[in-house]
């Protein structure tokens, strides 16, 4: 196929060529980035407020001018021309440069923040102190490396969100959804927690739900909540209600998209800054198999870890608090057993064989660990102290998986690697979506032409076409409902819908157009 896929530099003009305006815009943005980079050398600008504003401002203005020139003034429509010819979006040279830079940035951020200017003994320097004016303005304290990261993350979602809105401006679902992720990132993930700090309240983002927020029920967090009076208790109660009541109801009504592509910050970055890389996800059936094992293993890990940290937080005596270690442990075991039993009894027809084996296997492992701990009678649960498990989880899943691999590798593996293979929140919502939800992607009769745009641009690596060409609804636990498959479909075949539970999952061939009796026959045979 080399002939079809070589670089097209010899045609009249490269499809991916930058216009003059785009080059100027890129320069403006790069100057802003360069100012940021300069601070890494510990250079201290005379007027930090001015230079920080200038730096972030230039990055923003550059991106806006670039996006305007790229999309405005051209007819609204699918804008994927040359995606696979461009080095950045087709795993070429620039993809690797960006991928490696992002990865290095995450490694420094997590493990070597001193290179960013973190100073344990005195005032910070470097890029961290560069953000002091903004941090002082919002939360009243000097910046930390996490404030720098949070600011850059938010800026990325806002400016690339703007670009995304222009790119898909013909599609109101995409526009509204993108406003939503921009709003939740700026308000809930960035401003509210920082302002809470200013008010001497616990750092808390209501939209960051357990188990994505794996630290939420650790002892130091619970202590912070409990020592913060009524507001702290409300936060703690809201966190628990979020997990057990709010998320199941919303997922039942709208599918997991209400969170993954409307609210979540990880999803927000993937949908905006990660949009140029969505086509890089692996669509093979093999990848799907790996996905299911890895993501559910992470879910088991986070469940065990959380049970362990809560266990070590609690006391033994009922006179202090009704919820003792034993009550909690056996309560958790009972709850999990009940949950698995309900799923296996009422939904066993909808589960594949390996899903059943996996579920039973995982349950047995968790229960066995609980029993071993209980009868061995030592204070450690699951062979390790709870805080050790949390440390390992934080390192392996929180930092390496979601940060370094999840975002650093955007240009290589696509934008949703973390959401697809790693996020335990996505795993829970996915189970709900598959088994108890009104959401599905409807296929329009027999109109599919198997072109493959839907599968190619599915960031979750779902082979959408495999369903569409059979006239089958797409009901997949991993689907985050971004709506791009529907947006890029040239024949109007796909629609995201919340509807009746009856006939939601239809594994028969229901292609329309042919003799009705024949189609009946085809379906009888396949039963």
Partner 1 sequence: MEHIVIIGNGIAGITCARHIRKNADAKITVVSAESEYFFSRTALMYVYMGHMKWDHLKPYEDWFWEKNRIELKKALVDNINFEEKTLHFSSNEKMNYDKLVLATGSVYNKFGWKGQELKGVQGLVSKQDLELLEENTRDCNKAVIIGGGLIGVELAEMLKTRNIDVTFLIREKAFWHNVLPLQDAKLISDQIRSHGVDLRHETEIDKITGDQKKGVTAVFTNSGEEIKCQLVGLCTGVRPNIDFLKNSRLETDKGILVDEFLQTNIKEVYAIGDCAQLKQPASNRKPIEAVWYTGRMMGETLAQTLTGNTIKYKPGNWFNSAKFFDIEYQTYGQVSAKPGQNEKQFHWQHKDKTKAITIAFEPTSKKFLGINTFGIRMRHPIFNRWLNEEQKIDHVLANLKQANFDPEFYTSYEKEIFKSFKENLQNP
According to the binding rule CB under 8 A, does residue 490 interact with partner 1?
A: yes
Residues 83-122 that bind partner 1 (CB under 8 A): 83-86
Question: What DSSP element (H or E) covers 442?
Answer: strand 439-443
Q: Binding of partner 1 at residue 187 (CB under 8 A)?
A: no
CB of 1 to partner 1, least distance (A): 4
Closest approach of Cβ 16 to partner 1, in Å?
8
Which residues within the stretch 12-71 sit at the binding site for partner 1 (CB under 8 A)?
12-13, 15-16
The residue from 78, 108, 234, 344 that contacts partner 1 (CB under 8 A) is 78
The counts of H helices and E strands in the chain are 25, 2
Q: Is 73 in the site for partner 1 (CB under 8 A)?
A: no
469 binds partner 1 (CB under 8 A): yes
Tokens 């819908």, located at residue: 497
Question: What tokens does 91 get?
Answer: 């795993």
What token pair was written down for 458?
A: 């599915």
Q: Please report whether residue 317 would count as binding partner 1 according to CB under 8 A.
A: no
Which one, of 429, 504, 519, lies nearest residue 474 by Cα? 504
Residue 118's CB is within 10 A of a number of other CB atoms, namely: 19
C-alpha 100/C-alpha 106 separation (Å) is 10
Task: Give min distance, CB of 488 to partner 1, in A.
Answer: 8
The verdict on 352 binding partner 1 (CB under 8 A) reads: no
Reported as half-sphere exposure (CB side, CA atoms, 13 A), residue 445 has a value of 8
In angstroms, what is the minimal distance from the CB of 440 to partner 1?
13
Note whether 407 and 423 are within 8 A (CB): no
The residue (of 124 and 171) whose beta carbon lies closer to partner 1 is 171
Site for partner 1 contains 1 (CB under 8 A): yes
Half-sphere exposure (Cβ direction) of 463: Cα atoms closer than 13 Å: 13
Query: Nearer to partner 1 by C-beta: 87 or 297?
Result: 87
Q: Given the rule CB under 8 A, which of 18-26, 260-268, 324-332, 485-493 is the region that contacts partner 1?
A: 485-493
Q: Does 486 bind partner 1 (CB under 8 A)?
A: yes
Q: 40 near 108, Cβ under 8 Å?
A: no
In the beta sheet, which residues pair with residue 443? 494
Report yes or no: 206 and 246 within 8 Å, Cβ to Cβ. Answer: no
| DSSP letter, residue 284 | S
User: What is the Cα–Cα distance from 461 to 457, expressed in whole angstroms?
Assistant: 8
Least Cβ distance, residue 48 to partner 1 (angstroms): 42
Residue 285 interacting with partner 1 (CB under 8 A): yes
Q: Which of 425, 434, 431, 384 is nearest to 402 (CA)?
A: 425
Give the burial class of 255: count Cβ atoms within 10 A of its Cβ; 0-12 exposed, 13-18 middle, 19 or more buried. buried
Report if residue 390 touches partner 1, rule: CB under 8 A. Answer: no
Instruction: Determine, following the binding rule CB under 8 A, whether residue 434 of this chain makes contact with partner 1.
Output: no
**Of the residues 173, 238, 392, 436, which one makes contact with partner 1 according to CB under 8 A:** 173
Distance CA 390, CA 302 (A): 9
- Closer CB to partner 1, residue 83 or residue 425? 83
Beta carbon of residue 405, minimum distance to partner 1 (angstroms, whole number) = 24
Binding stretches for partner 1 (CB under 8 A): 1, 3-5, 8, 10-13, 15-16, 75-78, 80-86, 170-173, 176, 284-285, 442, 444-447, 449-453, 455-456, 465-466, 469, 483, 486-488, 490-492, 495-497, 511-519, 521-522, 525-526
């Amino acid at each position: 196929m080399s002939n079809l896929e070589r670089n097209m530099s010899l045609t009249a003009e490269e499809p991916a060529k930058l216009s003059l305006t785009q080059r100027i815009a890129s320069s403006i943005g790069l100057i802003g980035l360069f100012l940021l980079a300069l601070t890494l050398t510990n250079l201290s600008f005379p007027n930090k407020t001015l230079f920080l504003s200038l730096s972030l401002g230039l990055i923003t203005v550059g991106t806006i001018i670039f996006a305007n020139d790229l999309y405005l003034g051209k007819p609204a429509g699918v804008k994927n021309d040359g995606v696979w010819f461009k080095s950045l979006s087709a795993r070429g040279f620039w993809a690797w440069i960006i991928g490696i830079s992002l990865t290095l940035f995450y490694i420094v951020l997590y493990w070597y923040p001193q290179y960013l200017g973190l100073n344990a003994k005195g005032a910070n320097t470097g890029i961290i102190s560069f953000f002091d004016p903004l941090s002082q303005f919002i939360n009243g304290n000097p910046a930390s490396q996490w404030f720098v990261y949070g600011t850059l993350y938010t800026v990325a979602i806002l400016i690339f969100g703007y670009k995304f809105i222009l790119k898909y401006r013909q599609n109101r679902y995409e526009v509204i959804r993108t406003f939503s992720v921009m709003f939740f990132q700026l308000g809930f993930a960035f401003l509210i927690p920082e302002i809470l700090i200013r008010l001497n309240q616990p750092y808390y983002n209501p939209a960051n739900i357990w188990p994505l927020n794996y630290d939420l029920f650790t002892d130091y967090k619970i202590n912070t909540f409990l020592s913060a009076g009524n507001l702290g208790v409300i936060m703690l109660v809201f966190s628990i209600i979020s997990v057990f009541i709010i998320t199941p109801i919303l997922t039942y009504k709208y599918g997991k998209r209400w969170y993954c592509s409307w609210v979540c910050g990880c999803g927000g970055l993937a949908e905006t800054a990660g949009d140029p890389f969505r086509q890089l996800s692996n669509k093979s059936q093999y990848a799907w198999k790996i996905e299911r094992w890895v993501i559910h293993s992470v879910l088991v890990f986070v469940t065990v870890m959380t049970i362990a940290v809560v266990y070590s937080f609690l006391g033994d005596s009922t006179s202090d608090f009704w919820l003792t270690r034993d009550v909690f442990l056996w309560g958790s075991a009972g709850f999990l057993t009940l949950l698995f039993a309900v799923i296996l009894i009422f939904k066993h027809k909808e589960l594949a064989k390996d899903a059943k084996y996996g579920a039973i296997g995982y349950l047995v492992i968790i229960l066995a660990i609980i029993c071993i701990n209980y009868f061995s009678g030592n204070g450690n649960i699951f062979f390790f102290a709870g805080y050790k498990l949390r440390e390992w989880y934080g390192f392996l899943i929180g930092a390496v998986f979601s940060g370094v691999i999840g975002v650093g590798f955007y240009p290589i593996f696509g934008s949703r690697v973390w959401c697809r293979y790693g996020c335990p929140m996505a795993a829970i919502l996915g189970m709900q979506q598959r088994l108890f939800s009104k959401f599905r992607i409807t296929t329009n009769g027999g109109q599919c032409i198997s072109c493959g745009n839907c599968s190619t641009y599915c960031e979750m690596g779902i082979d959408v076409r495999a369903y569409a060409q059979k006239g089958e609804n797409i009901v997949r636990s991993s689907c985050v409902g971004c709506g791009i498959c529907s947006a890029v479909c040239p024949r109007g075949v796909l629609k995201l819908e919340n509807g009746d539970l009856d006939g939601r999952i239809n594994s028969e061939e229901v292609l329309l157009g042919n003799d009705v009796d024949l189609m009946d026959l085809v379906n009888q045979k396949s039963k």
